[in-house]
Every structure is written in structure tokens, then in C-alpha cells.
Chains A and B, each alone.
Chain A
């Protein structure tokens, strides 16, 4: 148990659906992250939020829309996804963004399958 929870743990959705992934951290951290891990590929950083402001957007398609309503919650809204978007989506948090001595704590991930 890392103090970062993600729901749902598994999600199957059609290409025309709209769904949201939720992440919550109970660590009092100020930075939160979304990563994507496709089969047989390294983790890819998608978005970074620091103090509820988006500070990184790594060329992610607009069908992925993040939201950070407060420093404890992070959402990833999904719409009109493609089958190649099937992956493990991981949320992480760290005490501070921009300081390399602070490690990131990861949630268990949401396994997304797009049909």
C-alpha cells in the first residue's frame, strides 16, 4: 500500500464511450502524474500537475483530458479512444515537483482495454 489509490482497477470500453480514471493520494503531496505503460514498452509520462496546475503535457492526444481539482485528486477523462490506447495507466505523486530528491509513489494502475 503506497498511499496512492486508483479506480477502477480494470476497465473495458468501446471506442465511442466516455469514461474517467480516478487517482487519489493520501500522502499530502503537491505533485501528481499520469503515466501510460503499453505492452512491452517503457512507461511514458503523460501529464504532470503541481499544486493543481498542469506543468507538463507530453504530446498526448486530445482524447485524453486530465483534471486536477485539488492536490489529492487526479482524473483522466477518456473519449473516442483507439484500440492502441489499451494499456496500464499509472498515477503517481511526489511531495514536490521539480526536486529530484523526492521520490514518486505509484498507484496500482488501471488496466484499460479498448474494444
Chain B
């Protein structure tokens, strides 16, 4: 799996958009970009994933650059409950290689 690089921590004001970057410069064509988050002492929660195109769901938007070497997770209106560690993960698409490899993530703190 390609390695990802994320800033260790970020702050965001409540109500503002939180933009969390991730570099995955060694990503290959068949690797998906996944985002999970982990609120303190809870299990990780799936947020969104994408391959080439930008994606949006009820939780967030995922913007993937054209060369796929980086992506940004956008929480459009951050709330205090969005304070968590956010993990960017890339996963291969071949059968049998479905595992998630978590790095150290970005600790997002939403400030009132």
C-alpha cells in the first residue's frame, strides 16, 4: 500500500470548513483513497472514499488532485463533535488485499 503523509494536528473554528490534507505521492492507479476518523476512545468511523473523481456524501467531501498524489477531506461546517483523529488511507483494489493500514493521522480540534 502507498504511504500517506498528514499533518499531525490542525485547529478549526466551529462553523467553518475544515480542510484536511493528505499526500500520497506514491499512489498507484488501482489504489483507493479512504478517510476514517476516530473520536477519543471509540472505534474508527468510515467517512468517505474515492478513486479518481471527487466525492461527496452527507458527512464530507473528498477532493483528489488530477495526478492523484494528494487529496483533501472537507468538513463543510465543522462542529465540536467533529473533534477527532482523521486518518487518510490508500487501499489496493486486488482481491485479497482489502486491509486497512492506519497511520498516525491528523488530530483535528474544533474550537468554539
Residues of A within 8 A of B (CB): 2, 4, 31, 42-43, 45, 48, 55-56, 88, 90-92, 94, 96-109, 111
A14 to B10, CA, bound (A): 39
Residues of B within 8 A of A (CB): 32, 34, 41-46, 49, 91-93, 95-105
Q: Are A90 and B44 in contact (CB under 8 A)?
A: yes
Q: Are A42 and B99 in contact (CB under 8 A)?
A: no
A100 to B101, CA, bound (A): 12
Q: Which among A48, A96, A102, A103 has the greatest number of chain B C-beta atoms within 10 A? A: A103
A8 to B103, CA, bound (A): 27
- What A residues does B42 contact at CB under 8 A? 108-109
A90 to B44, CA, bound (A): 9
Q: What 11 new A-B contacts, CB under 8 Å, besides A2-B45, A100-B92, A101-B32?
A: A42-B101, A42-B105, A90-B43, A94-B98, A98-B96, A99-B95, A100-B32, A103-B46, A105-B46, A106-B43, A111-B41
Q: Do A56 and B102 form a contact, CB below 8 Å, given A4-B43, A100-B32, A101-B32?
A: no
A43 to B41, CA, bound (A): 12
- What B residues does A42 contact at CB under 8 A? 101-105
Kindly identify which residue among B43, B45, B98, B102 contacts A99, using a CB–CB cutoff of 8 Å.
B98
Q: Are A108 and B43 in contact (CB under 8 A)?
A: yes
Closest to B90 in A: A100
Q: Are A48 and B99 in contact (CB under 8 A)?
A: yes
A96 to B93, CA, bound (A): 13
A42 to B102, CA, bound (A): 6
Closest to B105 in A: A42
Closest Cβ of chain A to B98, distance in Å, is 5
Kindly identify which residue among A4, A43, A92, A103 contacts B49, using a CB–CB cutoff of 8 Å.
A103
Kindly identify which residue among A45, A100, A101, A109 contacts B43, using a CB–CB cutoff of 8 Å.
A109
A56 to B98, CA, bound (A): 11
Closest to B46 in A: A103
